[in-house]
Amino acid sequence: MSSENLDIAYVAKLARIALTDDEVARFGAQLGDLLGHVATLADLDLESIPATAQVVESRNVVREDLERASLDRETVLSGAPQRQGAFVRVPRIIGQA
Amino acid sequence: MNGRERSARELIDATLARIENVEPQVGAYLSVLEREARERADALDKRIAAGERFPLAGVPLAVKDNLVLEGTVTTCGSRMLERWVAPYTASAVQSMLSAGAIPVGKANMDEFAMGSSCENSALGVTRNPYDLERVPGGSSGGSAASVAAHEATIALGSDTGGSIREPAAFCNLVGFKPTYGRISRYGLIAFASSLDQIGPLTRTVEDAALAYDAMAGFDPMDSTSVDRAVEPTAGALREDLRGVRIGVVKQFDTHKLGADIDDVYDRALHDLEALGAEIVEVELPTADYGLATYYLIAPAECSSNLARFDGVRYGLRVDGADVAEMNERSRAAGFGPEVKRRILIGTYALSSGYYDAYYVRAQKARTLVARDFAKAFESCDLIAAPAASSPAFRFKSKSDPYSMYLMDYYTIPMSLAGLPALSVPCGWVTPEDGKRPMPLGLQLTAPLFAERPLLAAAHAYERATTHAAKHPTQIAEVAR
């Protein structure tokens, strides 16, 4: 649990957040500090302890596969940053421009 | 209300006038729903005149801005959603509407519910009505301030690690977080899915009970909603605590908080005993690991939940040469520093090579916390603890992120275990760096699904004390 392994620039890439150099330095220090605090979990003997994902122990919850009303498309698309007809428009994903 | 002493419209008009009067000082709301509130009030008055009855008829309601209400701008206190209009209404909000409550505004909050002071809001500043130079607490800061300043009668907040209980304590209110799964999370914009819960902030325990009764229950739209009968709480409130065993946690020694604060909690325990309660000592041996556990689990879950804010379908978009760059720039511009920190640490804790060492380990520690509580509840019915380690602090006084995280020390363990817990006003201290007395909150926690005895006991304590009756004076002075 070493904070020396915390490569903020790499993690930011995974998290798809563009950081400034200043943020890389600042967050690196602050999160390194936090990792130092959470290192106390190493004290605990957790060998035979099951993980708790959530406390009320629901199992896979499914519903009947029946068609029912959904959100109005116009309403939903009106919240999109860029749209084109019935589509949300984004930068090219496949192939070269 | 149902007895037609006043119309809903009169009540809403009075509330909106109060909002207009004090908002420049308090800043509880990001948006005020003037037209909608008046329309709803008129519609409600018609239905009451036609003979319908509603348990919360005309009650002015503040709604934390991470709860969707159809047609309202719902921001989560973030630039990412600064202009986003919700296309549907949260189940819990709908329940309140069906009970007759009338939303008057969307309440300010720490961005995406991450924070303990409301200072992390990217869209506004909310001040504590009891001392305008202090924070209202967070993340449900606007919710707390609105009720404390009489800008709403009931506020809905959300609590992940203490975000209802701590601001309630800071603003002399009752703040109630039910058992995980009791109130549907459908329509609550998610922060940490295994921890988030919606709950009311109110002036009285009875109001909290009424709100809970309106909202609790199974909802098929939330796959973590518990399908279990809800025992109504509002009719079961007690006036005494005879036969109730109240556990005081050895690890939560309030001497550490200073003499003034210790005195207040000491007196609270005496008041509980005077009502007939038996005070017993219990232990939560893993209490000190709560913060570490939470600050791995919550950020991990938030990194997953906030991945949807990618500039594509909704919210802020900043263009880029390709999709990845668009994602990166949109998220850089849309999220504030605390949100970024938590996404980063969460991503790290879940990343390949570290997942077992961090996230899984924290989930196992969580099991120990839950087991500690289960063991403690073998010898008591309720656990009493502070709601926070201090009264409301001054703005900008906690610049180091970890010092802010420490504000959640007393509330996090209950969240990890999914237990129902509330804060109720228990006294006053004048902080060293201030002149005005500030409120403290007594946190009561019950076993899973024991909302009824929890609220019943809190009511008894409230009725035997007068702390809640003290109203803010600073705003009235300035508004004159």
Active site residue B91: no
B7, B64, B95, B225: the active-site residue: B64
Give the residue with greater pLDDT, B125 vs B401: B125
Region of B427 (left: φ > 0; alpha: ψ -120 to 50; beta: rest) is: left
| Pick from B109, B117, B61, B63: nearest CA to B403 | B117
B7, B91, B146, B163: the active-site residue: B163
Neighbouring-strand partners of residue B175 = B201, B423
- Structural domain includes residue A72: no
- Structural domain includes residue B296: no
Classify residue B147 by its DSSP letter.
H
pTM of the complete model beyond 0.90:
yes
Give chain B positions within 8 Å (CB) of A21.
Answer: none
Give me the percent of chain B exceeding a pLDDT of 90. Answer: 94
Q: Do A54 and B363 touch (CB under 8 A)?
A: no
pLDDT at A54: 81
A1 interfacial to chain B (CB closer than 8 Å) = yes
Give chain A positions within 8 Å (CB) of B348.
Answer: 6, 11, 31
pLDDT at A1: 42
> Could you give the C-alpha distances from B333 to B314, B317, B359, in angstroms and in order?
14, 9, 28
Tens of pLDDT along B72-131? Answer: 999 999 999 999 999 999 999 999 999 999 999 999 999 999 999 999 999 999 999 999
Q: What is the mean pLDDT of residues B354-366?
A: 94
Give chain B positions within 8 Å (CB) of A43.
Answer: 289
Q: Do B321 and A12 touch (CB under 8 A)?
A: no
Residues 10-69 of A with CB under 8 A from B: 11-12, 14-19, 23, 27, 30-31, 33-35, 37-41, 43-44, 46, 49-56, 58, 61, 63
Tens of pLDDT along B221-273? Answer: 999 999 999 999 999 999 999 999 999 999 999 999 999 999 999 999 999 99
Tens of pLDDT along B314-331? Answer: 999 999 999 999 999 999
Classify residue B432 by its DSSP letter.
T
Q: For B179, phi and psi rounded to 5 degrees? A: -55, 140
Strand B154-159 to B197-202 pairing:
antiparallel
Q: Report the number of distinct structural domains present in chain A.
A: 1
Q: Report the number of distinct structural domains present in chain B.
A: 1
Q: Do B324 and A16 touch (CB under 8 A)?
A: yes
Q: Sorting pLDDT into bands at 50, 70 and 90, what band is B62?
A: very high
| Pick from B107, B196, B116: nearest CA to B156 | B107
- Structural domain includes residue B259: yes
| Pick from B171, B173, B226: nearest CA to B200 | B173
Q: 3-class SS at B378?
A: coil
- Structural domain includes residue A86: no
Neighbouring-strand partners of residue B282 = B249
Measured at the alpha carbon of residue B148, what is the angle toward residues B272 and B45, in degrees to the nearest 5?
Answer: 110
CA distance A19 to chain B (A): 7
- Structural domain includes residue B399: yes
pLDDT at A4: 57
> Which of B83, B195, B344, B399 has the most A C-beta neighbours within 10 Å, making it the best mutation to test the interface with A?
B344
Neighbours of B394 (CB within 10 A): 15
**Longest Cα separation, chain B:** 69
| Pick from B470, B11, B441: nearest CA to B201 | B441
Q: What is the mean pLDDT of residues B54-63?
A: 97
Give chain B positions within 8 Å (CB) of A76.
Answer: 87, 313
Q: Do B348 and A46 touch (CB under 8 A)?
A: no
Q: 3-class SS at B131?
A: strand
- Structural domain includes residue A91: no
Q: DSSP per residue over chain A, as a string? A: --GGG--HHHHHHHTT----HHHHHHHHHHHHHHHHHHGGGGGS--TTPPP-S-TT----------------HHHHHTTSSSEETTEE--S--SS--
Neighbouring-strand partners of residue B425 = B441
pLDDT at A57: 74
CA distance A81 to chain B (A): 6
> Which of B182, B291, B329, B361 has the most A C-beta neighbours within 10 Å, making it the best mutation to test the interface with A?
B361
Average model confidence (pLDDT) for chain B?
A: 96
pLDDT at B477: 63
CB B91 within 8 A of CB B82: no
Q: For B63, phi and psi rounded to 5 degrees? A: -120, 120
Classify residue B471 by its DSSP letter.
P
Integer Cα distance of B47 and B41 in angstroms: 10
How do the pLDDT tens digits run along chain A, 97 residues long?
445 567 999 999 999 999 999 999 999 999 999 999 999 999 999 999 999 888 887 778 888 899 988 999 999 999 999 999 999 999 988 876 5
Domain CATH for B198:
3.90.1300.10
CA distance A54 to chain B (A): 5
Residue B219's domain spans which residues?
Answer: 8-291+360-479
- Structural domain includes residue A63: no
Residue A5's domain spans which residues?
Answer: 1-43
> Could you give the C-alpha distances from B417 to B101, B176, B226, B365, B380, in angstroms and in order?
31, 15, 15, 11, 16
- Structural domain includes residue B184: yes
What is the chain A residue with the closest CA to B362? A41
CA distance A3 to chain B (A): 11
Q: Do A44 and B365 touch (CB under 8 A)?
A: yes
Q: 3-class SS at B293?
A: helix
Q: Which helix (H) or strand (E) holds B177?
A: strand B174-177
**Residue B71 identity:** G
Active site residue B351: no
Q: Do A51 and B360 touch (CB under 8 A)?
A: yes
- Structural domain includes residue B436: yes
Give chain B positions within 8 Å (CB) of A6.
Answer: 348
Active site residue B250: no
Strand order across the beta sheet in which B245-249 lies: B29-32, B102-107, B60-64, B154-159, B197-202, B174-177, B421-429, B438-445, B382-386, B245-249, B278-282
CB B443 within 8 A of CB B421: yes
